[in-house]
Amino acid sequence: MWSYFARRFLLAIPTLLFSTLIVFLVVQKAPGGPVEAAIMASQMGGGQGEAGGGAVDMANNGVSQASIDAIKKYYDLDKPIHVRFYRWGKKILRLDFGVSSNFGKPVWDMLKGRFKISISLGLLGFFLSYMICIPLGIFKAIKHNGYFDFGSSVLVFAGYSIPGWAFGMLALMYFASPDYGYEWFPLNGIQSSPDVFKELSTWGKLMDYAHHAILPVGAYMLGSFARLTILTKNSLMENLGQDYVRTAFAKGLPERRVIVVHAMRNSLIPLATGLGHIFSLVLAGSYLIESVFQIEGMGMLGFKAIINKDINIVMGILVISTALSLFGNIVQDVLYCIFDPRIRFK
């Protein structure tokens, strides 16, 4: 088994290499970056325009060849793409993501700060949804085709049919908008303004965070609510039909014990392995939810970076999410081994 994981890790290296290469190419070759825009603007005169770019300021033709070269040199654009990728990759390995062109700060420092916000929200949502969906799924399985099952199915269908961020917007209108509905929750952000927040006690800070986090976390939870509940239910239902359950019943064990101790343990395996993707899941939906709730998290940073053409941030976020999802794949397999000893990887 350990040799399997050793190989998995070794395989992850080329995978990471190639997927960052794709990412690198996408960002570098997609028209409209700040450098591309500057260079293109000057090149238009020379008739060498790289077609397809966004808004090109025709008036800016007067950029001299020397300054183009300076720009290119500054951004390493005078080198062929593989050299650029090599240099960039070397920097990335040292966690040097460069400097944000908009904020002038190192990208890594910015990401670290934002990551905390996103991950705290994401983890909260993740664990809360597990805490709600697993019991719900179990009850649905036990009461299969009963009233409770049908009633909660309505919730599940509804939850699947509305994206979490859209629901968040609706909740924001009803429960946070001062102009319409109740002003129960703050309209945006994840904490009160720094001046206010500083003054609060630890408990107060916690409450302040909770107050701000309820709606966004609810939106996060809705995103996985239906899937998790149905997964739990189906996997328990499947296990309840297995021979070992029959055996347990035949031994005369009470139903409660059969379900809780025998069947449930096995039915939670597919759910437990989902924990592997916890980090990449945390990032996946955050662009939308953070933009709805105006939370200055990683997703928001990434979103704004695209709009502002802040390439270093964009690349940084892409690399981190790529690495996280790759890492998540491996962790998922490890968890499989831990939770389900029947599985033997070779």
Partner 1 sequence: MNEAITKEDAPKASVSVFRKRLRKFRSLKRGYYSFIILVTAYILSFFLPLLMNNKALVVSYDGELYYPIATYYKGEFFGQFNDFSTNGRTETNYRLLKARFEAEDEGNWVFMPPLVPFGPSETPQVAKEKILIDAYKAGNFDVDSKDKKPEKSAEEIAKEEEKAYSGGDEDEDDGGFKYDPNKFKDDKDKNKSGDKKSGDDDEDDDGYKGDDEDDDDGYKDEDEDDEDDMGEDGEDDNYQYNPDTFDDQKEKALAKEKEEGKNKSDRDKLIAAAFPLPPSDVHPFGTDNTGRDLACRLAYGFNVSLTFALILLIVAYTIGITIGSVLGYYGGYVDLFGQRVIEIWQTVPFLYTVMILGAALQLNNDPSKPAYFQPSFILLISILASFSWMGMTYFVRGEFLREKSKDYVSAAISIGTKDHIIIFKHILPNSLTPVVTFAPFAIVGNISSLVALDYLGFGLPVPTPSWGELMKQALGDLKSWWLVSAPIAALFVTLLLVVFIGEAVREAFDPKVFSRLR
Q: Footprint of partner 1 on this chain (CB under 8 A)? A: 11, 14-16, 18-19, 22-23, 26-27, 30-33, 52, 54, 144, 157-158, 160-163, 165-167, 169-170, 172-173, 176-177, 179-181, 187, 234, 237-238, 240-241, 245-246, 249, 255, 258, 280, 283-284, 287-288, 291-292, 302-303, 306-307, 314, 317-318, 321-322, 325-326, 329
Going from the C-alpha of 212 to that of each of 18, 34, 188, the distances in angstroms are 40, 36, 8
Smallest separation, CB 53 to partner 1 (Å): 8
Smallest separation, CB 257 to partner 1 (Å): 12
- B/e letters for 19-50, b = 16+ CB within 10 Å, e = fewer, are bbeebbeeebeeeebebbbbbbbbbbeeeeee
Smallest separation, CB 179 to partner 1 (Å): 3
Nearer to partner 1, 25 or 196 (CB): 25
Half-sphere exposure (Cβ direction) of 58: Cα atoms closer than 13 Å: 1
In terms of Cα–Cα distance, which of 317, 324, 295, 315 is closest to 215? Answer: 295
Nearer to partner 1, 100 or 321 (CB): 321
Structure tokens at 186: 């703050």
Smallest separation, CB 48 to partner 1 (Å): 19
Nearer to partner 1, 173 or 207 (CB): 173
Q: What is the DSSP string of 137-201?
A: HHHHHHTTTSHHHHHHHHHHHHHHHS-HHHHHHHHHHHHT-SSSS---S-SS-SSS-HHHHHHS-
Nearer to partner 1, 271 or 284 (CB): 284
Integer Cα distance of 232 and 264 in angstroms: 9
Tell me the torsion sign for CA atoms 316, 320, 321, 326.
Answer: positive
Q: What is the DSSP string of 23-71?
A: HHHHHHHSTT-HHHHHHHHHHHHHT---TT-S---GGGGG--HHHHHHH
Angle of CA points 53, 56, 58, to nearest 5°? 140
Nearer to partner 1, 39 or 326 (CB): 326
Smallest separation, CB 91 to partner 1 (Å): 20
Other beta carbons within 10 Å of 332: 16
Nearer to partner 1, 31 or 98 (CB): 31
Smallest separation, CB 81 to partner 1 (Å): 17
Smallest separation, CB 180 to partner 1 (Å): 5
Smallest separation, CB 139 to partner 1 (Å): 15
Smallest separation, CB 90 to partner 1 (Å): 21
Q: Which residues have a Cβ under 8 Å from the Cβ of 54 and sit 6 or more positions away?
A: 31, 32, 37
Nearer to partner 1, 134 or 288 (CB): 288
CA dihedral 54→58→59→65, nearest 10 degrees, is: 100
Nearer to partner 1, 197 or 270 (CB): 270
Question: Strand pairing partners for 106?
Answer: 99
Q: Which residue type is seen at 230?
A: I
Nearer to partner 1, 55 or 66 (CB): 55
Angle of CA points 78, 83, 89, to nearest 5°? 120
